[in-house]
Amino acid sequence: MEELQRRGAVSVLEVGCGAGRDGTVIRDAGLDYTGVDLSASSINICARQGLRAAQADATSLPFDDSTFDAARSMSTLMHLPNNDLGLALRELARVVRPGGVVEIGVWGHTQNRDWTSPDGRLFRQRSDRALRAELSEVCTVLDFATRDWQEDDAHYQWARTEVTTP
């Protein structure tokens, strides 16, 4: 929030908004919040909380170019199959104005790997180097950190990027 306020951001898009837990924090900080999620029930929960949210896919966002000052996606984009992370990153960069901030968080690993959880969710984990390279194709990486390292070398990756002029 501090970084967004420092940059004068007014509007924020969240991809993978779920039930709006983070959306209420963003809205209550005085920012214009919009969330998207694949789940219709999540969108309904957001609406009941007074949050603007729409059902949409991260790889095909229903917004005009440069609509938002910032965007974020936490613990969502690692579930995309194939090279859909690249598509989603390009979509985020498209809907955020040049100079705007995009933050993402995903579960990664020391090496690229795919696995499916018992409940059927795909996890496409990238190494830190691979994720930074993919981010750099679309945005300027301002900050990159890891945390919560697991015994199997899985860890959470977080990045703050800036959208560059197309």
DSSP code of residue 19:
T
pLDDT of residue 111: 94
Residue 3: pLDDT band by 50, 70, 90 thresholds?
Answer: confident
d(C-alpha 69, C-alpha 125), whole Å: 28
Residue-wise pLDDT tens digits, 37-65 = 999 999 999 999 999 999 999 999 999 99
Cβ atoms within 10 A of the Cβ of 42, count? 19
Domains and CATH numbers, the chain: 2-163 (3.40.50.150)
pLDDT of residue 156: 97
